[in-house]
Amino acid sequence: MSEEFIFGWHAVEAVLKREPERLQAVWIQTGRQDRRVKEVTAALDELGVPWQVVHRRELDERVAGVHQGVVAQVGKSREWSEDDLLAMLEQSGKPPFLLVLDGVTDPHNLGACLRTADAAGVQAVIVPKDKSASLSPTARKVACGAAETVPLVRVTNLARALRNLQQQGVWLIGTAGEAKASLYQADFSGPVALVMGAEGKGMRRLTREHCDQLINIPMQGHVDSLNVSVATGVCLYEALRQRLA
């Protein structure tokens, strides 16, 4: 049995739907007998996955976070490599649409970015192995199931991974406050990867140098920046608008 846990109804249901073989045990808070609980427990029974109704205190002891009354113990999720990503892009038959997060360390931000990436149709999210948030139970819960649908590719050398994408014809668009071009002047219609920097510091110098184009998000108020997950959502939905057009 692994020691990896997920929590929250969206996260548990996503694993149940897409990777049921990972489920090892499920605990549900006492007092819930609604339709959602009945559907989940019926599916668990069909799969032969053990589940228990327990006091909230036991769930609180297993995980740190708002568990919504459900916690699951799961096997390790698939680790996506750069080779896996390139193979997936080659087989997809669609122009690549990717998100690169350079050093996002807050699991809440990672989860929120994954959730928006899934909604916008992003094929994969790329992060460096070092100085980046992992797919912790908190990140999975915030992602509301997107952690099970959007591949998270962890690369040892982000600059090299960006060069490899460029060799595949992917246009790299990075965000920077000092950029002269705005988000609404960028062309997201073709093979593209949106590159977002870390909370506060933005992109690292080497990452910035590998971008084909730098853009800014127009700011009309008194604050000079947005939270990275909010900025990611703004950019991805402009990209989606163009790609749908």
Tens-digit pLDDT profile for residues 48-95: 999 999 999 999 998 887 899 999 999 888 889 999 999 999 898 899
Please say which residue of 74, 100, 116 terminates a domain: 74
Same domain, 56 and 90: no
> Residues at the annotated binding site?
197, 217, 226
Structure tokens at 123: 């094929």
Same domain, yes or no: 65 and 103? no
CATH label of the domain that carries residue 239: 3.40.1280.10
Q: How many domains does the chain have?
A: 2
Residue ranges of the binding site for S-adenosyl-L-methionine:
197, 217, 226
Mean of all residue pLDDT scores within the chain: 92
- Structural domain boundaries enclosing 55: 4-74
CA distance 175 to 151: 22
pLDDT of residue 56: 92
Are 106 and 177 contained in the same domain?
yes
181 and 236 share a domain?
A: yes
Q: How far apart, in whole angstroms, are the C-alpha atoms of residue 231 and residue 72? A: 32
50 and 91 belong to one structural domain = no
- Both 121 and 181 in one domain: the answer is yes
Domain boundary among 47, 74, 101: 74
Question: Is there a single domain that holds both residue 63 and residue 128?
Answer: no
Statement: residue 1 has pLDDT above 80 = no
* Residues in CB range of 93: below 8 A, 6 or more apart: none
Q: Which of 27, 51, 74 is the last residue of a domain?
A: 74
Q: Any idea what the CATH number is for the domain that residue 35 is in?
A: 3.30.1330.30
